Structure 1
Amino acid sequence: MLISQVRKEDGSIAVAVRSAGEVARVVKGAESVYALAMEAANGDKSLKEVIDSRGLGDTIDLKKAYAEGRMLPPITHPDTAHLHLTGTGLTHLGSAATRDAMHKKTAEAAEETLTDSMKMFRMGLEGGKPKPGEKGVQPEWFYKGNGTSAVAPGQALVSPAFAEDGGEEPEMAGIYVISDKGVPYRLGFAVANEFSDHKTERVNYLWLAHSKLRQASFGPEIRIGAAPDDIRGTSRILRGGTVLWEKPFLSGEANMSHSFANLEYHHFKYGLFRVPGDVHVHMFGTATLSFGDGIRTEEGDVFEIEAGEFGLPLRNPLAIAAEEEIAIRQL
């Protein structure tokens, strides 16, 4: 099942559900995906059970709504400060063509010659998929922002004027709500663009935190339930309506050095991230970047990321913010 949110012409929200390839229908009486998810979490029910209990109404043309700029992020919070955008890196093995080479390099290199990134990657290979009951190694982790940084599908990802680069990262994101008892519940997974400043990151790894404080987009639809073991998608950049760059990307545990369960544990082990009522959009990393192929994005470029089992493709144009004068004043 795929679930999404659309802004209706009267300004209210319509929650739409569908199976892949089918026409979407509105969930009767649903105020938002968040409201449905909290009802399910607090009642210890599945999201499907809650949707089935309400029933489905009129059909809705998602492609038309998308073209008209009425698609919303597939989950929002009434208070944007209570939606958290976070992520993990160095979690993917890379493409099938480079996987063996990556394993060989990390296995043979002397510890003292490895960069911190390669050390972290090797730690994931050795301990990122623990057996049941065991604790796995923690991944690289970063913070991107709150709900004010979540950009709706179809809307522009805005790169700050001070940024050195604004590039895409095609990833899978886990979508979670925290029940009134402080228990994390996963709705499912969505395609995400973990928009970052790769040029700044490359200067020094300690600038990674700076490079990640950018907007992000995810959706337009959430695939309810567990993620497939092997996820295959395509990431592309269009310039002037023509494909500038295109490349397949792999995700899912078959293509990762960490299990989703391990990455989730190391996020939600912090009580800070189990505050009742909060929403979490946690991005799980990628091995495919246009930046690595020498692409330098320009304002007006359009990022497009798709994976067939996850619904409509995620599209966002790139915009550059105007210069700001930041003045700190004494109270």
Structure 2
Amino acid sequence: MLLSQISGADGAIIVLAREEGEPAREVLGAKSVHALALEAANSGRRIADVIAAHGFGAEHDPATLARDGRYLAPITHADPAHLHLTGTGLTHLGSAATRDGMHAEVKKVEVGATDTMKMFRMGIEGGKPEAGKVGVQPEWFYKGNGHSLAAPGKALTSPAFALDHGEEPEMAGIYVIDDKGQAFRLGFAVSNEFSDHVTERQNYLYLAHSKLRPASIGPEIRVGAPPADIRGTSRILRDGKVLWEKPFLSGEENMSHSFANLEYHHFKYRLFRRPGDVHVHMFGTATLSFGDGIRVEPGDVFEIEAPGFGEPLRNAVAVDQPEAFGDLAVRDL
């Protein structure tokens, strides 16, 4: 099942559900995907059963919705501060190569001797523990909250001080926390974990700064566990023509960590188990246009798609207006 959200004529959220290859149908009485997910989690029912109990209304064509720019982010929170955008890196086979190379260049050390490669090897050796056991911790980063989540079709806006505007095609896990503080996985969606790779290249300790950028997911969430082998395509369009295109791999067959291990190391923190909260956690990639020397420009369009995950995710690149230092200076009360 695929879930999405669009905006109605009165501005209210309309929740849509469909099976791959079929029209999307309105879920009657559903205030949001978040509300449906909490209804399921708090009642101990499957999300599909909750949706079936609500019933279905009008049909919509997914491609037309995308063309008309009607998709919202497939999950939102009424208070955006309670939607958390986070991620883990160095989780995919081959994902360390580009970062190891640029970090080795800066640190003037041999390729393969960086902390990046050491962390990657830790994942290879201990990222897929036996069921019920804890594996090695992954690299982890914070991207922002619901204010940083760009809807499909909307711009990913870099701050004026950014040095790069690079895409990262990834799978994102979508989670809600029930009234008792238990995390529930709703499903997975295609995501663009937009980052500043030039800033990161200066020093790997700038990774935290490089990740404080918007992200986009969807337009649709695939409910349930993902395939073990996910094969998608990431491309950049400039003036309507393909500038760069490359396949990307995800799913546990192509990863150095299991999803269960990555989820454990996120939700082991009580901070991330606050009732009612939403978590969008991005699981990393091994495919970047930056690694091929592409310099993204404002107006370029990212397009990321993977069979079985619904409509492609498209976002244009924009750059925010600069702010004067004096306007940002902290003032005494």
Same fold (TM over 0.5): yes
Report the counterpart of residue 94 of structure 2 in structure 1.
94
Alpha-carbon distance in 2 for matches of 1:58, 1:149: 31
Please give the alpha-carbon distance, in whole angstroms, between the structure 2 residues aligned to 1:18 and 1:221: 10
Give the Cα separation in 2 of the matches to 1:162 and 1:253: 36
1:327 aligns with 2:326: no
Superposed, which structure 2 residues align to 1:76-155 within 5 Å? 76-94=76-94, 114-155=113-154
- Counterpart residue number, 2:59: 59
CA contact (8 A) 1:94 1:250 kept: no
SS of the residue corresponding to residue 25 of structure 1 reads strand
RMSD of aligned Cα (Å): 1.6
How many Å separate the matches in 2 of 1:151 and 1:83? 13
Q: Which residue of 2 aligns with 1:199?
A: 198
TM-score (norm 2): 0.93
Distance in 1 between residues matched to 2:146 and 2:313, nearest whole Å: 18
Which residue of structure 2 aligns with residue 68 of structure 1? 68
The 1:328/1:43 distance shift into structure 2, 3 A limit, reads: same
How many equivalent pairs are there? 319
Residues in 2 aligned to 1:112 and 1:60: alpha-carbon distance in whole angstroms = 51
Determine what percentage of the aligned residue pairs are the same residue.
71
Q: Deviations over 1:53-94 (max 9, x none)?
A: 111111012322222222100000000000000000000003
**In the alignment, residue 123 of structure 1 is paired with which amino acid?**
M
Amino acid at match of 1:202: R
* Residue of structure 2 in register with 1:8 after alignment: 8
The letter of the residue matching 2:53 is S
Other structure's SS at 2:130 match: coil
Report the alpha carbon displacement of residue 278 of structure 1 after superposing the two structures with TM: 0.2
What is aligned with 2:33?
A: 33
Corresponding residue SS for 2:189: strand
Q: TM-score w.r.t. structure 1 length? A: 0.94
> Which residue matches 1:107?
none
CA distance in 1, matches of 2:112, 2:185: 39
Q: CA deviation at 1:112?
A: 11
In structure 1, the residue corresponding to 2:6 is in which secondary structure? strand
Distance, in Å, in 1 between the alignment partners of 2:169 and 2:77 is: 23
C-alpha contact (below 8 Å) 1:151/1:157 kept by paired residues: yes
Contact 1:172–1:190 at 8 Å: present in 2 too? yes
Q: Deviations over 1:155-176 (max 9, x none)?
A: 0000110000010000000000
Paired with 1:295 and 1:126, the residues of 2 have a C-alpha distance of 32
| Gaps in structure 2 of 5+ consecutive residues | 98-109
Residues of 2 paired with 1:258 and 1:113: CA distance? 20
